[in-house]
Structure 1
Amino acid sequence: MSILANKKVIIIGDRDGVPGQAIEECVKTNSDATVVYSATECFV
């Protein structure tokens, strides 16, 4: 049972940190969550 089980997830990654696509892959492989939005932004 995951904390994200049967939830909808919005992912905002950081260009210089962890990109959104990497977080999305972790969520997809480790939970039953649905990714509704995933992006990598540059916070300057």
Structure 2
Amino acid sequence: MMLRDKKAIIIGDRDGIPGPAIEECVKTAGVQVVFSSTECFV
């Protein structure tokens, strides 16, 4: 896999896809999440 053993910074959107949901997806691909947050972009 191309993402295995990579590191990621995740910024989710409150009205879109939240950070924890993206985090769970990328963890299954073998990515190490170093920061995850959900922000409100207004």
Q: TM-score, normalised by structure 2?
A: 0.90
Q: Which runs of 4+ in 1 moved over 3 A?
A: none
1:11 Cα deviation from its structure 2 partner: 0.2
Match of 1:37 in 2: 35
TM-score between both structures, scaled by the size of structure 1: 0.87
Residue-pair matches, total: 42
- Displacement of 1:43 in angstroms is 0.3
- Name stretches of at least 5 consecutive residues in structure 1 with no aligned partner: none
Structure 2: state its 5+ residue gaps: none
1:20 corresponding residue in structure 2? 19
Q: Quote the RMSD (CA, aligned, Å).
A: 0.7
